Amino acid sequence: MSPALELDRVSHSFGARTALDQFSITVDSGEVVALIGFNGAGKTTAMRILAGRLRPDRGTPRLFGHGPGRLPGHVARRFGQLVDAPFAHPELTVRENIRAAARLHGLDRTSATRAASTAVGQLALEPWAHTRSRALSQGNRQRLGIACATVHAPEAVVLDEPTSALDPRGVVVVRDLIRECAARGAAILVSSHHLDEVSRVADRIVVVHDGRVVGQLEPGGTDLERRFFEVVHDADTRSAAGPEVAQ
Ligand SMILES: Nc1ncnc2c1ncn2[C@@H]1O[C@H](COP(=O)(O)OP(=O)(O)OP(=O)(O)O)[C@@H](O)[C@H]1O
């Protein structure tokens, strides 16, 4: 079976700066894959390409086998993403925003209302359900973005640093949601800077460095941080030794 999400030897530069260099990754249905790497490593660029926000210079992104830039409607409805700014109209309330996201992903009125109520509960947004999104704190706006990305029970989800603004309770809430999505068969690609958190949620941890996939870490264990730095150091050593060794 072909992967739900895939980047196949994708390269992209912004002017002289190479953001992605022959970057390949797959995420299967039911799998949570986490991208970790330093600031500027290329994680967001990879996710923006999968979300159809950016067309790569070279290589092939695939979402259920389709190019993300021109997804047929029935495929787009199976996809959810939180990359760049969260989906949220400032004048709509939390509940209205989530319901609007559900409608945009093809749910009928009744199903959208029901799904919005479920999502409000899942993201622990009840106290703010009737608050306009412009009045939300940063963390609650992030929860709203996650709710909007997942309300329609997507089969593939891309979440760029979904817990960066969350309090410890929010981190647990989002972790549970991600695991629930995967348990019902969704493919999830998530990025984070927190190795401990990633270790608890991911089936695979992919290390991104200088626009390339340089290794994988097994989730669990106590020395994840040390192993991360070893993978990055090895990649730097290979690159300093020259292009042939770096392959
Ligand atoms: N719109 C842009 N214009 C110019 N350069 C960009 C742009 N977007 C990203 N870059 C550059 O591409 C590289 C990869 O950036 P990217 O945002 O993908 O990294 P990241 O791994 O998500 O970093 P962070 O952890 O800080 O979010 C960086 O060198 C960045 O400066």
User: What is the ipTM, given to two decimal places?
Assistant: 0.98
Read off the pLDDT band of 85 (50, 70, 90). Answer: confident
Q: CB of 42 closer than 6 A to ligand 1?
A: yes
Distance CA 55, CA 173 (A): 33
3-state SS, residue 146: helix
In a domain, 86, yes or no: yes
Structure-token match 């994680």, residue found: 43
Residue 218 lies in a domain: yes
Q: Is residue 194 part of a domain?
A: yes
Confirm whether 19 is domain-assigned. Answer: no
Report if residue 99 sits inside a domain: yes
Supply the range of the domain harboring residue 112. 26-40+51-246
- What are the C-alpha distances in Å from 236 to residues 194, 246, 247? 22, 9, 12
The verdict on the CB of residue 119 being under 6 Å from ligand 1 is no
Residue 145 lies in a domain: yes
Q: What is the pLDDT of residues 16-53, one digit of tens each?
A: 999 999 999 999 999 999 999 999 999 999 999 999 99
From 7, 18, 44, 84, mutation site for ligand 1 pocket: most ligand atoms within 8 A of C-beta: 44
> CATH number of the domain that 114 lies in?
3.40.50.300
Span from the CA of 55 to the centroid of ligand 1 (angstroms): 15
Identify which of 23, 43, 161, 213 to mutate to test ligand 1's pocket (most ligand atoms within 8 A of the CB): 43
Instruction: Establish if 157 belongs to a structural domain.
Output: yes
Let me know if residue 18 belongs to a domain: no
Residue 222 confidence class, pLDDT cut points 50, 70, 90:
confident
pTM of the predicted structure, to 2 decimals: 0.94
Alpha-helix residue ranges (DSSP H) falling in the chain: 43-50, 73-76, 94-104, 109-122, 138-150, 168-183, 195-201, 224-241, 243-246
Number of domain units in the chain: 1
Mean residue pLDDT across the chain: 94
Which residues, in sequence order, are bridge partners of residue 159? Answer: 82, 190
114, with CB counted inside 10 A (0-12, 13-18, 19+), is middle
CA gap 242, 240 in Å, rounded: 5
Q: Whose CA is nearest to atom 1 of ligand 1?
A: 14
Ligand 1 centre to CA of 14 (Å) is 9
Judged against a pLDDT cut of 60, whether residue 247 lies above it is answered with: no
